[in-house]
Amino acid sequence: MEFNELKHKVSSLIEKQDVNQDEKLRLICELLKAEVSHYDWVGFYFQNEDKKELILKAFAGEPTDHTIIPFSKGICGQVAVSNENFLVDDVKAQNNYIACSINVKSEIVIPLFVNNQNIGQIDIDSHTAKAFDKEDETFLEWINSEIAKKLF
């Protein structure tokens, strides 16, 4: 499915009146995993600023032991500190990578900003090397922007 088509579906989920914020995030994760062939695990982590850690709030894919990630640890923890997108073509080449599954080959993490503050991120793993490109990055930035405007 093309990203433009998916934008309409994501917008519809965000606008749903009969589900809470957590459920909307979970539904977005499930939609992305189901509709984008190279998205094998999709999750939203949110910051617990007091403890300098990320907490997994919603996901679709295989369960993970990494429900709490300290700032600076792994790709997600690095994005919590850098406030910048992080595309990884080959997770084995990263010395600060936290392995969620032996099948993961590449990862993309995009921070979610509310009022110019990084409050969380969308994290996507793929079982395909070099799975992500600028189109994925732009699409995921759009999703986070819509979530920030309409859910927070």
Using CA atoms, how far apart are residues 113 and 117, in angstroms rounded to an integer? 5
pTM score: 0.96
Q: What is the pLDDT of residue 1?
A: 61
Q: pLDDT tens per residue, the chain (152 residues)?
A: 689 999 999 999 999 999 999 999 999 999 999 999 999 999 999 999 899 999 999 999 999 999 999 999 999 999 999 999 999 999 888 877 777 778 899 999 999 999 999 999 999 999 999 999 999 999 999 999 999 999 98
> What's the CA gap between 4 and 89, in Å, rounded?
24
Residue type present at position 23: E
Q: Which amino acid is at 3?
A: F
Query: Measured between alpha carbons, how far is 143 from 120 in angstroms, rounded to an integer?
Result: 13
Between helix 3-15 and helix 21-35 the angle, nearest 10°, is 160
3-151: CATH topology is Beta-Lactamase (3.30.450)
